[in-house]
Structures are given as C-alpha cells and as structure tokens.
Amino acid sequence: MHLNEIKKTREKIKDVINKTPILYSPIFSKMTNCSVYMKCENLQLTGAYKIRGALNKIRSLSDEEKSKGVVCSSAGNHAQGVAYAASLLGVESTIVMPKTTPYLKIQSTKDFGGNVVLHGNCYDDAFLKAKSIEENNNSVFIHPFNDINVIYGQGTIALEILEEISDIDIILCPIGGGGLISGISLAAKEINPSIKIIGVQAEGANAMEQSFKNGNLISLNSVNTIADGIAVKSPGDLTYKIIKEYVDDIVTVSDQEIAEAFLILCEKHKLLAEASGAASLAALKKLNYTDKKIACVISGGNIDMITISSLINDGLVERGRLFCFTLELPDIPGQLQEISRILSELNANIVQLEHNQFKASNRLKNVLLEVTIETNGIEHITLIKDTFINMGFKINQMY
C-alpha cells in the first residue's frame, strides 16, 4: 500500500527533484570490510533531501489551502525545502527557525522566498511558535516529519537506492524527528523485507533511540550536538509508530565521531556534508557486519564556513592529525631550539608555540611550553610522546 503511494509521489515531484548520485566509497568500505555506498542528498536541490517531502505536501494542498499560505518550523533544511516549493507554486511561506540556526541556512531560506522568523534555541521552540502563527493567521502548517505526505516524499530516496543497487543489505539513515527513515523504511521493506534499516542519532539528541528501545515515545528536556539538523527533543508519534514496526535498529554517534566522518568525506571524496549529513557515515563503526552492501544516506550539505573550519579541526584531532601538548622546561637558553630539533627529527610540523613562564609550576626556574603540531596519526603521536618521556621530559597531552 505505502509503496504504491511513494511511487505516485515520485511521479508527482520528479520534474523538480534531482536524482542524486550513489557513490561507492573505497575508504569507508576498507574501514568496515563491507561495500559502502553514499546516497548524496547533499547534492540535492536546496542542498538536502527535505525538498522531496515539502514539495509533495504543498502540491497535495487544495487551492483554498494554498491561498492561506503555509508556515513551518525547521532547523534549516525543511525551511529551505518549504520556501523553495512554496515559491515555485506561488504560495506565501512563513518559516520559523531557531535563533541558533547557521547563517547560511537562514540566508538561503530567505533567498528561496521564505519569510523567516527566528525564535527559540532548538527545533521544538520554533515548532511552538509556528503553531501559534498557524492559529493566528489561519495558515497551513507543513510539518517537517510527522506528516504522511512528507514521509512519502522522503521515501522516494529508497526507490532510487534500490533501482541502482537492488541487492543492498543495509540502509543507514540519520534520524531527527524520523520522517526520512520512516519514508525509506516503508518503501524498502515492501520491496525487500530482508533489507536492514538502521537509524542514526547523535548522542546528545537521541529521543527516538530512547523511544525505540524503551517501547514508548520519549521527549528530552534538552539537546546538545553539533548535528543541528537532527537535534530534535520530541520525535513524532506517526514516525515513531512506523519506526517501531519497520526499522531494525537505532545507534548513536558522538560529535567527535561525526567530525571524523566529516573529515574523511572531505579529504577522500571531496564532498561537503553538514554534521547531521555525515552521521550515517560515523555510524559505520558501530555496525558488526562484514561483506555486506551498505547505503549511507548523506542527508544534507548546508554548512557554513565557520562550522566547516570547526569540524575539520575536530576531525583532525579525532584522527590523530593534530596533537597539542605541554612540557615544563628549564628557563635557560637553547631549550626551545632543542624541542624544535627533536620534533623536526620526528617529522612533526609545528603549528603553534606558546612559551609562558607564568604558567609553569616552578615559575622561578621553569617555563611552560605549549606546542601544537601536525602529525600522521595515532601511532605518530605515540612515538612523539615516548621519545620525550624517554628523554626525561614530563609531557601532558592537551588534545
């Protein structure tokens, strides 16, 4: 039943939606002993999969409903999808976004024709404000995930994956409110019930994971993650019911694991994803499978330059490519030169040095040297630490 509706949806939106590429990943495949493929919705129109559900929902409205205008709440990607789809169909849109939304997503939503209202610190705060606007203005609320037409739109991704890789074993999918994985699981399980659908949540925003494992819908008091696109305190009741029936498992990933996956994606594939978009790749380490075909949904790529810089630095630290440490040295000439010589012989590139007498435990005789260096990985860091320890230095790793 659902599969036919999702196929109809695909016909309804195919004039606008990009059929995004599915790319094989040698690096992630090697890391997992599986064949890993990436469904690149970061290359979708508006930069994320959300346009699929938004367009399907707005096209399903009556002319009378369209004349009232639409309103939505979003951390960014649904906002852009609704704004674009509404403008395309000549419908006025009001978009409520958290104040913490990255500037790029706010400006892009405005550029797509949305009237942006900033309210609250997370999606759920924006949701309450949008519902208030709906009531006061008699607008039509376009829910980002808890709506069957939106879910059917997102489910078209599964059709594209299975048309290209019919024997896929596992689909990994990020979860915020649950609309994306609901649509994908409805389509994929009807086509092939043996496909495993595994959801991914950030450790600091794991309401759906808790709900899934406890057997009842759970809301969080707060969320804390770099993955703003999946930072949802209260998942949907409709999506929860679908996930409970069709999804096989939900795993969580840390912000550090997301940053590491982001860095690998950038370095090895020259692709950009937002933190929530890289979550499915981060989850590969949590799976206990070999020789399986795995499709990871890269859900979005709307990321600003400042966040890119932060994620790259975090990823470099997680991969052992940046190493910061302190040494306490005698306050006599030549000590700094000696440390530089040792690091040079160990093929470590100095990024930053801070030489500070006032931070030393014995300020009369010593200075504290804080060093940040580029390294080749964890083994290289271990070699550097062991070298200094064997030379009688007390080394303290900062990160």
What is the full DSSP assignment across 39-104?
EEGGGSGGGBTHHHHHHHHHHTS-HHHHHT-EEEE-SSHHHHHHHHHHHHTT--EEEEE-TTS-HH
pLDDT in tens, 39-55: 999 999 999 999 999 99
| pLDDT score of 103 | 84
Determine contact, residues 184/155, Cβ cutoff 8 Å.
Answer: yes
Token look-up 């440490």 returns: 325
The pLDDT-based confidence of 63 (bands split at 50, 70, 90) is very high
Determine contact, residues 227/303, Cβ cutoff 8 Å.
Answer: no
Provide mean pLDDT across the span 262-286: 96
Q: How far apart are CA 383 and CA 20, in angstroms?
A: 44
Provide mean pLDDT across the span 316-329: 92
Provide mean pLDDT across the span 244-257: 97
Provide mean pLDDT across the span 282-300: 97
Determine contact, residues 372/323, Cβ cutoff 8 Å.
Answer: yes
Coil, helix or strand at residue 323: strand
pLDDT score of 363 more than 70:
no
| pLDDT score of 364 | 64
Least confident of 91-100, 115-124, 290-299: 115-124
Enumerate the active-site residues.
Answer: 50, 299
Residue 31: Cβ-neighbour burial (10 angstroms; 0-12, 13-18, 19+): middle
pLDDT score of 361 more than 70:
no
Coil, helix or strand at residue 196: strand
Question: Which pTM was predicted?
Answer: 0.88
Q: How far apart are CA 147 and CA 136, in angstroms?
A: 21
Provide mean pLDDT across the span 11-39: 98
The pLDDT-based confidence of 331 (bands split at 50, 70, 90) is confident
- Of the CA atoms within 13 Å of residue 251, those in its CB half-sphere come to 19
